[in-house]
Amino acid sequence: MEPWEFGRMVRKWRDRVAPSAVGLAAGGRRRASGLRREELAGLAGISADYLTRLEQGRATSPSAQVVEALARALRISDAERDLMYELAGHAAPGPDVVPTRIPPSVQRLLDRLAHTPVVVYDATWTVLVANAPYEALMGEVSGLRGIERNAVWRHLVGGGNRTVHTADEYAEFRAGLVADLRRTASRYPADRSLKRLVGELRTLSPQFAELWEGDAPVSSREPSRHKSVEHPAVGRITLDCDTLVVALDDLRIMVYTAEPGSEDADRLDLAIVLGTQALVE
């Protein structure tokens, strides 16, 4: 196949995606009904310049991560996703690789939760997508790259997030994350990206290495559904956090809600308004 074929198909698929289908306003004069190039680049987490070079055939070797991000942003079918991988010179991920695909049925669920803070992780606890209300509540994640998108890295190496923990709760939470990652590694022993992630974490965090190699039992106590978030503009918000597991696709969907009519619901609404305004400025 010609090297420019990848870019031609991306342009074709971009032109058929209505802005409203991906949560974007269709305001202003548009020459086409589909996504603008900068809109697709933003959804996929790549630069508009790089997308331009891909579409024009001046960049011809996108990574598998870029291919997956574009496939997710374009909401293409499974068959089209496989074609996109083939055009980019990659084999489509098989059953021995941690799934990163958000299927149409799950995407429809996310669309219905567009005004509720929602984040989706793969089985390695790497963020696949976070909606605008989630970023307004917890801070921006769309600009994070590579290992920074991984929750295990964030809580053992990085600065954590806005969730409030006691010292004991945080130690238990981190041990649980590592234990879950170890279970994921046992399910996908051939996944090279997962092996690289574990290797990096072992190098960067002595605590991770100790937990990874240790045989201390993880608490069997169910984690609390209630979470307190320290928001920089509105203060502390106590929320319900439910984790929905999509078993077939090995995804984790975390949804944050507050009891209707409560002060926490009012604070959450204000945090979302302030945060989404800041994100579009």
Say whether both 74 and 121 belong to one domain. no
Distance CA 149, CA 260 (A): 31
Residue 220 lies in a domain: yes
* Mean pLDDT estimate for the chain: 89
* Pair (72, 127) in one structural domain: no
Is residue 182 located within the same domain as residue 248? yes
DSSP state for residue 114 in the 8-state scheme: T
Domain enclosing residue 258, as ranges? 104-280
97, part of any domain: no
Q: What is the pLDDT of residue 40?
A: 92
Q: Which of the 8 DSSP states describes residue 117?
A: -
Residue 121 shares a structural domain with residue 254: yes
CB within 8 Å of 259: residues ≥ 6 apart: 240, 265
120 located within any domain = yes
Question: Looking at 28, 60, 87, which one is the last position of a domain?
Answer: 87
Tell me phi and psi for residue 39, to 5 degrees: -70, -45
Total domains present in the chain: 2
Segment holding 252, helix H or strand E:
strand 251-257
CA-to-CA separations, 233 to 81, 106, 164, 259, 280, in angstroms, rounded: 41, 32, 15, 20, 17
Note whether 122 and 79 are same-domain residues: no
Which 3 state secondary structure label does DSSP give 28? coil
In this structure, the number of other CB atoms found within 10 A of the CB of residue 215 comes to: 4
The predicted structure's pLDDT at residue 278: 59
Are residues 141 and 233 both part of a single domain?
yes
Residue 154's CB: how many other CB atoms inside 10 A? 19
* Of the residues 54, 87, 120, the one at which a domain ends: 87
For residues 78 and 182, state if they share a domain: no
By the 10 Å C-beta count (0-12 exposed, 13-18 middle, 19+ buried), 32 is classed as exposed
Q: What is the pLDDT along the chain (281 residues), one digit of tens a residue?
A: 566 799 999 999 999 998 877 777 666 666 767 999 999 998 888 899 999 999 999 988 899 889 998 998 899 988 999 999 999 998 888 889 999 999 888 999 999 999 999 999 999 999 999 999 999 999 998 888 889 999 999 999 998 999 999 999 999 999 999 999 999 999 999 999 999 999 999 999 999 999 999 865 555 555 568 899 999 999 999 999 999 999 999 999 999 999 999 999 999 999 999 988 755 55
